[in-house]
Structure 1
Amino acid sequence: MNEKANLPVTDYSKLAMEYSIRPVHSSNINIQSEEKFSAVVEGVEAIYSMHDYKTMYKIPNLYDAMIYGMLGCRTPALLSEKFEQLLDQHSKEQELRVLEIGAGSGAFGQALLNNSRRLKIIGLDIVEEAQEAAARDRPFVYNDYIVDDLCNLSHESLSTINSFKPNCVGVASATGWGNHIPVAGFEKAFELLSAGGWFIFHVKPNDPDPECIALNQWIDKKIADEDIVDVQRGKIFHRYGVGGNEIYYDYIIGRKSLSAA
């Protein structure tokens, strides 16, 4: 088992202050897809949609300043901690080959590396600007980074992933609301995971969004059918909403059954 990576620590609260980030209040403030914030970039104040990743990733650490600095997001750190605790009950010597889907700018990858584990990580995101942000803001995280549609992977992307033989698939990005990974994407990622490999997943329970409902049904069926075994499930604090409300997600960590298709 490796020593901790001792990766650089970023003060996200300080970044949020440097960008003068403020929540933008509206009548739809409690709908996650409608949340907005203002920031001052190069002396110009502008309003940003919280899920306009292409725009935010072009600006160094702006997304991180917003999600981790202003809204106190804890999902990458807490998911990584839960995974570490579960691994303590199993083999500590296994080298993890992680396929991180919806990798974004690399916060979850960095959290995984901060644990005392031997691992390699391939990031995958549909947004080219995410790859650019990860290379700029966290160049030490990924062994490779693929920009592609998880639901329609190119031959080259499939070849890269299959050669990597991931024994862990992880996701710590948001789910649902029409602009995140759909159920078909999670199904493809599960298909790419080696039998016996770890699956790290989180989803917002009791959410009216149709995609969130579908994702909850999908993971519940995987567990009920014993396609995922050795399951640990619980609730973790995700982040604050723009209106100050606390948002919690369910996390699910388990192994892909040796008999899963």
Structure 2
Amino acid sequence: MALPGDLEAFQPHMERLRIEPVAAEGTLRQADERFTAIVEGDRRQFEMHDYRTMYRVPMLYDTMLYGWLRCQTPRLLAQHFKRLQAAAPDAAPDADNEIRMLEVGAGSGAFASALHHELPAIRILGLDIIEEARLAAQRDRPGAYEAYLVADLCNMSEEAEARVTALAPNCVGVASATGWGNHIPVAGFEQAFAYLQPKGWFIFHVKPNDPDPECVALVEWIEAKLRNGEIVDSESDKIFHRYGVTGEEIYYDYVIGRKAA
């Protein structure tokens, strides 16, 4: 299983797919990035956030993001969480300190694989809004999830609600992209936070100073949670997210803290 940050593991996929950027003038928004790859003998063009299409091609999205663009977010978030969780052994509400995570925007399972590498005993319930994400995770990262729900956090079915409630998550995490119109909105994060048990961990990241309205709303949402004391014992910092298709470095801010008791 190729871990984010392990470039050697992605090298065979890089050689097979031969990913190249699509030339564009000026500074590109992340939502407008394009690339091409060799798929079944033909060079095809892909939009960076067209997940449904990319997930249908084995390892395409992961190779593009974690191999070609050197995305580090899942690996770094997993390492920071392991460090903070170990330093606060009373953080989990259970005597056995079991970590039961609801991962929102789970995608193809890169964050789950990074978490298992750092915390082998973690239990993870994945949740994403598209079926292609679940199929990609099962195909490319088998065993990363205890279960995987295809559900809309803003419109949960009774079955999906029951699965999350049964897990009683004491950790909610996200390492997927935020903002840009086709990602988890504030209302979805609010619902995920509502599922989180008191004193449970919340792992979040967002691109700061981004003009996209959804990014602005998410920054305001997490700042309000911190300011109002709904998230406590928190750590915030900047981490390298990935390179853009034109080579610029992209940094995100992360917040890891605990839901107030």
Q: Identify the TM-score tier after normalising by the shorter chain.
A: over 0.9
Matched, 1:217 2:215: no
- Pairwise CA RMSD: 1.3
TM, length-normalised to structure 1? 0.94
Match of 2:147 in 1: 144
| Counterpart-to-counterpart distance in 2, 1:194 and 1:116 | 20
Q: 1:243 aligns with which of 233, 243, 246?
A: 246
Q: Tell me the CA shift for residue 17 of structure 1.
A: 2.2
Match of 1:4 in 2: none
Aligned residues: 252
Q: Is the 8 A contact 1:95 1:117 kept in 2?
A: no
Tell me the SS of whatever aligns to 1:45: strand
Partner amino acid, structure 1, of 2:130: V
Q: Tell me the CA shift for residue 14 of structure 1.
A: 3.0
Partner amino acid, structure 1, of 2:134: Q
Q: Tell me the CA shift for residue 25 of structure 1.
A: 1.6
| Counterpart-to-counterpart distance in 2, 1:138 and 1:29 | 34
Matched, 1:97 2:100: yes
Tell me the SS of whatever aligns to 1:214: helix
| Counterpart-to-counterpart distance in 2, 1:156 and 1:220 | 32
Q: Tell me the CA shift for residue 117 of structure 1.
A: 4.8
| Counterpart-to-counterpart distance in 2, 1:166 and 1:27 | 45
Match of 1:170 in 2: 173
Q: Is the 8 A contact 2:102 2:173 kept in 1?
A: yes
Tell me the SS of whatever aligns to 1:151: coil
Partner amino acid, structure 1, of 2:25: S
Q: 5+ residue gaps in structure 2? A: 91-95
Match of 2:114 in 1: 111
| Counterpart-to-counterpart distance in 2, 1:32 and 1:255 | 30
Q: 2:58 aligns with which of 54, 57, 60?
A: 60
Query: 1:3-24: per-residue Cα shift (whole Å, max 9, x none)?
Result: xxxx665712331221010011
Q: Is the 8 A contact 1:170 1:201 kept in 2?
A: yes
Q: Is the 8 A contact 1:13 1:70 kept in 2?
A: no
Q: 2:123 aligns with which of 120, 124, 146?
A: 120
Match of 2:69 in 1: 71
TM, length-normalised to structure 2? 0.94
Q: Tell me the CA shift for residue 99 of structure 1.
A: 0.2
| Counterpart-to-counterpart distance in 2, 1:187 and 1:112 | 23
Q: Tell me the CA shift for residue 174 of structure 1.
A: 0.5
Query: 1:149-187: per-residue Cα shift (whole Å, max 9, x none)?
Result: 111110100001001100000000001010100000000
Q: Tell me the CA shift for residue 88 of structure 1.
A: 1.9
| Counterpart-to-counterpart distance in 2, 1:29 and 1:137 | 33
Q: 5+ residue gaps in structure 1? A: 1-6
Match of 2:184 in 1: 181
Tell me the SS of whatever aligns to 2:178: coil
| Counterpart-to-counterpart distance in 1, 2:88 and 2:182 | 35
| Counterpart-to-counterpart distance in 2, 1:220 and 1:239 | 24
Partner amino acid, structure 1, of 2:118: N
* Match runs of 1:129-140 below 5 Å: 129-140=132-143
| Counterpart-to-counterpart distance in 2, 1:108 and 1:12 | 16
